[in-house]
Amino acid sequence: MDILMTCNTASISLSLSINSGIIDKNVGGNKMAYAIGWQPHTLSLARLVEVIDEGIAFGPQFKNERRRGCNFEQCGYVAIDSDGAWSLQDALNDPFIKQYAALWYTTPSHRQDGVDRFRILFVTEKPITNGDHYRLALLGLAKRFNTDDRIADASRCFYGSRGSAPTIMGHILPDAELEALIGEGQEADRCTNFSGEPGSDEQVWEGGRRAHGTIADDLEFRLAHGGCGTIRTTPPRVALHCPFHPDAIPSAFTVRSKIGDPGIHCMSCRKTWWAEETSQPIYDFYHYDAEVKRIAAEYPDGSPTGKKAIVINREFLPDLEPLNGITMIKSPKGTGKTTALKKLVRKARAGGQSVLLIGHRQVLLRELASKLGLECYLDDTNLGGEYGTPRPDYYAISVDSLPRRLHLPRPYDVVIIDECEQVLRHVTAKTVKNPYAVMTRLQSYICDAQALYLSDADLNQVTMNFVKRAKDKTVPVHLILNTYLTDNRVCEIYAKSEDLIVDLAGSARAGKRLYVACNSKRQAKVLARIIAKEIGDRTRVLLITAEEKVNQDVQDFLADIPNKYRQYQAVVTSPAVGTGIDITFDNGAQEVDVVYGFFTTGINSHYDIDQQLGRVRNPGSVKVWVCQRRNSFEIELDAIKLDLVQTGDSHPAVRTWLRGVPIIDMDHPLLALQASAYAVERASQNRMAEYFIRHKQLNGWTIQSISPQETDESWGVKQRLRRVQKELDQEFIGGVVNAPDIDEDQWKNYFDRQAAGEAIGPGAKHEMVRFELRHFYNDYVTAQMVEKDDYGRFREAILRYESLHIHSADQLNLLAYKWKAYVSKSADLSESLGSQALRSMEAVLLASGLLDDTGLRGDKIVSMSDLSDFLAYCDERRVTIERDLGVNLREDRRRDPVKTLNMCLSQIGLRLAPLGKSRKGDSAIYRYQLDPVDLDVLRKIGMRRKDTSRSTLPEVIQPARPAAKRKPANDNSETVGQSFPWFDDFVFPKTAVGD
């Protein structure tokens, strides 16, 4: 055959296996050939072309030549398998394929029905040696190019194609691009944004996805205000029409990296492209270290800008003096920061200077305040914080209580922010009700202080950027870096969580004293139960999560750890115990035999999980599993800022709106702090396992990798976890069903006591849930109801459904009118509807034809061809839909728009149900309709709730609606009636609210 080449390929070869027993689509019918006979080879591209043209199948190399995912050894390529998703010509014109593809060929069924079918291979820079990475790279390619994602598995092989005359393009896929594909595959694995369990204590965040691409210097794009520009001639922060997708409303803007390289970020594509021949931005987790070392070397007597840098290597920090200006201290955990601060406060008192300590966790702040000799705001008798009431001269307060407790802007001479990186990141957390007020008050105390001290073992850019904005630039700055490292510390990193659970169970059986840190409340509960089963005594296991931390036994433990720890064999914690607390014993005794860590991505950073592990100061050993999932979240500050201002209904950085586009103050102080905090979180999530390992190594730890253990016990761990989780769920369901009924006054009493930090016990919590379910559904509380309520997720879906503007004729007419105006491009839909979440859901329903001026169309029959308007709206408003509805729009949505629409509909408890198919020529047309059972359930619940909504319930029960007047709880005249049968035979659709 003649080999078609586009460039010199003599040096390109790749690792793979071939199976001559499979020709084309196994025309010989030898089914055993799928499993055996995969002979390993290293072939040149030219030889591979001959193999494909002979119809011979090829795939990864497998152990013992047996094709199984667990036998994967290596593979030197990844591939696209396109089965009509796009034309061959469009594929070959794609910039990514032009730049990186090695070869392409058509399949035997190419153009048989007028549809292009082909495969494109990318030769990797180095062979892939991890089967899961191969799978994820295939999935990332499929999602990026909207091709068949069913090829994504570790044993995926490809048929040859006799007579196809493959064409060699002759390019190599760089490692950086392969890593980006793996990251996109990992994100696609999630399907929806990760959310924590309702009421969980873990900090869950979401971020914009990022793909590292390049843009040609001479590629012109349209600017938002007219004219054209190129990547190197357009200044930063200029709005433009994205050149990579149809973009009627400008959704992109120019950005600059920290070193000044130009790029474009598109909010719809959720990608950033950088100019050619520029380096990809990498977050610097050790910027403070480098800056201190640079200043100390270049200006030993102080820089011209007033900065004095000191690098020390000491086991314990030296004494601190109340120096005017700013003092930043970065020193490893266990090097005496608390002792140094205690001496600093003593000197300030002696000099008549007032002191304010600012933290972010109540229990831990109280402990530190006691050590420093300060009055904690939690013990302040003036709980109301009345105007005119002066606060003590020596005070400790949580950062989010500043606006409520410190009304009078009285200055403090010395302000100390311990664990400052986490305090500042806490200001940006979702749990803070008014972050702008908190930040403004924090800035005022920083500006008024004569001496400001900021300390953190991981001090870096969040603190540096905030202080630079908040404090006068003329004040002296003292930078301290302690590089002390402890020797002979080993951290075992497990490749599989199942193997670590097996080890944990063995340690429990052996009677070892354990400390287990998790970043998931649900996982913490499961592991605590497993340990209890192993030792046969639940009272010997202490569980500390957001729910349990107010319990008396937990409070007693935290107040006297050295003595109380001996009462327990195991302590299992979530992020509720994160920073500021030391589990230290007299004379450095090694009372904890093993510290275990179980950490998944999507919750907190590698800094946070290291803080959790570091609570035990002198453990016998440390064993950790960290999820190795990679992400590709955006870390450019300008891109993050634009994402943030569109996340909520309002942001103080938004000056005004113009045709649905926000006009933003990009230098707003709150926006700058949020972007800085989110950047470090997102950067950490991109490669959390790698960054954690590097962080431990830089802090003097030796990493010992534990490879997967193929034992019978490890194989059974997943089944055991499911059994334990089901057991916990059944206990919860039984607790709620068997709890006594309480009235509204008792519910409010429980609620107020919890809000004040008082423990109420599991029985009271079950009573509260029973009360909420009974009054929400207005029905008898049964096991089926509790199970299908799914910890409140179905209630949230119902509230979203009820909040839609589909009950008012005037509103329906307005929606229909606005939609027609939007389609005709004479108006912007975003200007017409209500809150953002409702706006997006209503727009989705309108675009799909399921909502019109008559209401929600339960009788509407749709096929995939009827959803073109829906797909167009998804393309144009992808970021808005994903943000508002909490879903990830599928990359293959054009191939299967029904799945994508069902993801959106699940947020209001609905879905499309298949009605069957009809034929049009040789094609099958599948028809769908809103599931009538879903609609019937929601309507019956709505009628029952509407008929009896006559008592007042606090907002916590109905978070999406204003409190409505309800009938008193003790009036049973019509409060409970017969149980509706739909609770017994209907499986509610699961929303994407929680994990």
SS3 string, 129-174, reads CCHHHHHHHHHHHHHHHCCCHHHCCCCCCECCCCCCCCEECCCEEC
Nearest alpha carbon to residue 402 among 353, 441, 373, 351: 441
Q: Which pLDDT score, from 0 to 100, does residue 192 have?
A: 31
Residue 778, pLDDT > 90, answer no
Q: What is the pLDDT of residues 373-383, one digit of tens each?
A: 999 988 876 65
Would 738 be classed as within a structural domain?
no
Report the alpha-carbon distance of residue 956 to residue 934 in Å, rounded. 26
Bridge-based pairing of strands 570-573 and 414-418 is unpaired
DSSP assignment, residue 616?
Answer: B
Residue whose tokens read 């396109």: 82
Residues 467 and 540 occupy one common structural domain: no
Q: Which helix (H) or strand (E) holds 126?
A: strand 117-128
pLDDT higher than threshold 80 for residue 126 = yes
DSSP letter assigned to residue 103: E
Q: How many CB atoms sit inside 10 A of residue 85's CB?
A: 20
Sheet strands (E) in 876-964:
912-920, 923-930
SS3 98: helix
| Residue 814 belongs to a domain | yes
pLDDT of residue 429: 82
Alpha helices in 793-916 (DSSP H): 793-803, 809-823, 836-847, 868-876, 878-885, 897-905
Residues 510, 710: Cα–Cα separation, whole Å:
22
Tell me the residue range of the domain where 552 lies: 489-630+687-715
Q: What is the per-residue pLDDT across 198-215, written as a single tens digit (0 to 9) for each?
A: 334 444 334 444 445 678
Domain boundary among 664, 695, 715: 715
Q: Which DSSP state fits 229? A: E
Q: What is the pLDDT of residue 10?
A: 52
Say how far apart CA 577 and CA 544 lie, in whole Å.
7
User: What φ, ψ does residue 332 adopt, rounded to 5°?
Assistant: -60, 160
Final residue belonging to a domain, choices 696, 715, 734: 715
* Amino acid at the residue 245: H
Phi, psi of 168 (to 5 degrees): -90, 125
How many domains, in total, are found in the chain?
A: 5
Helix (H, G, I), strand (E, B) or coil at 83: strand
pLDDT digits (tens, 9 = 90+) for 705-737: 998 876 777 778 878 888 998 999 999 999 999
Find tokens 């959704």 and name the residue.
Answer: 251
Winning range, highest mean pLDDT, from 471-475, 586-590, 672-676, 796-800? 672-676
Q: How confident is the model over 94-122, as a mean pLDDT?
A: 88
For residues 51 and 177, state if they share a domain: yes
Confidence of residue 973 (pLDDT cuts 50, 70, 90): very low
pLDDT at 242: 85
611 with 647, same domain?
no
Residue 211 lies in a domain: no
Phi and psi at residue 836, to the nearest 5°: -60, -45
Query: Confidence band (pLDDT; 50, 70, 90) for 806?
Result: low
Q: Does residue 830 carry a pLDDT above 70? A: no
Residue 647, pLDDT > 60, answer no
Amino acid at 369: A
Helix (H, G, I), strand (E, B) or coil at 189: helix
Last residue of a domain, one of 157, 190, 223: 190
**pLDDT, tens digit, for every residue of 500-522?**
999 999 999 999 999 999 988 88
Going by the DSSP 8-state scheme, the letter that residue 300 receives in this structure is T
User: What pLDDT is recorded for position 741?
Assistant: 93
DSSP string, 13-43: EEEEEEEEEEETTTTT--GGGGTS--EEEEE
Average pLDDT, the chain: 80
pLDDT tens-place string over residues 908-964: 899 999 988 887 776 778 899 999 998 888 888 888 777 654 443 433 333 333 333
pLDDT-based confidence at 76, cuts 50/70/90? Answer: very high
pLDDT of residue 666: 83
948/64: higher pLDDT: 64
Alpha helix ranges (H) inside 510-540: 521-535
Same domain, 659 and 516: no
Same domain, 377 and 493: no
Alpha helices (runs of H) in 270-376, residue ranges in sequence order: 287-298, 337-350, 362-372
Does any domain span residue 909?
Answer: yes
Q: What angle do CA 568, 571, 575 make, to 5 degrees?
A: 155
- Residue 398 and residue 362 share a domain: yes
> Residue 831: what pLDDT?
38
- Is residue 839 in some structural domain? yes
pLDDT tens string 862-878: 988 889 888 888 877 77
- Report long-range pairs for 659-667 (Cβ below 8 Å, ≥24 apart): 659/249, 659/828, 659/831, 660/249, 660/828, 660/829, 660/830, 660/831, 661/239, 661/249, 661/250, 666/237, 666/638, 666/641
Residue 278 belongs to some domain of the structure: no
The answer to whether residues 300 and 322 belong to one domain is yes
| CATH number of the structural domain spanning residue 625 | 3.40.50.300
User: What confidence tier does 3 reach under pLDDT thresholds 50, 70, 90?
Assistant: very low
Query: In this structure, is residue 271 part of a structural domain?
Result: no
Quick one: pLDDT band at residue 69, thresholds 50, 70, 90? Answer: confident
328 and 394 co-located in one domain:
yes
Query: How much is the average pLDDT of 179-186?
Result: 82
Per-residue pLDDT tens digits for 349-363:
999 999 999 998 877
Same domain? For 27 and 92 the reply is yes
Classify 886 in phi/psi space as left (phi over 0), alpha (psi -120 to 50) or beta. left
Residue 608 in any domain: the answer is yes
The residue-averaged pLDDT of 460-484 equals 88
Task: Give ∠ CA 155-159-164 in degrees, rounded to 5.
Answer: 150
Token pair for 269: 């594509």
In three-state form (DSSP H/G/I as H, E/B as E, the rest C), the secondary structure along 537-586 is: CHHHEEEECCCCCCCHHHHHHHHCHHHHHHHCCEEEECCCCCCCCCECCH
| Res 246 pLDDT > 70 | no
Distance in angstroms (rounded) separating the CA atoms of residues 430 and 604: 13
Q: What one-letter code names the amino acid at 459? A: L
Pair (450, 503) in one structural domain = no
Average pLDDT over residues 395-414: 85
In a shared domain, residues 881 and 815: yes
Strand pairing report for 307-312 and 271-275: unpaired
Is residue 855 located within the same domain as residue 782?
yes
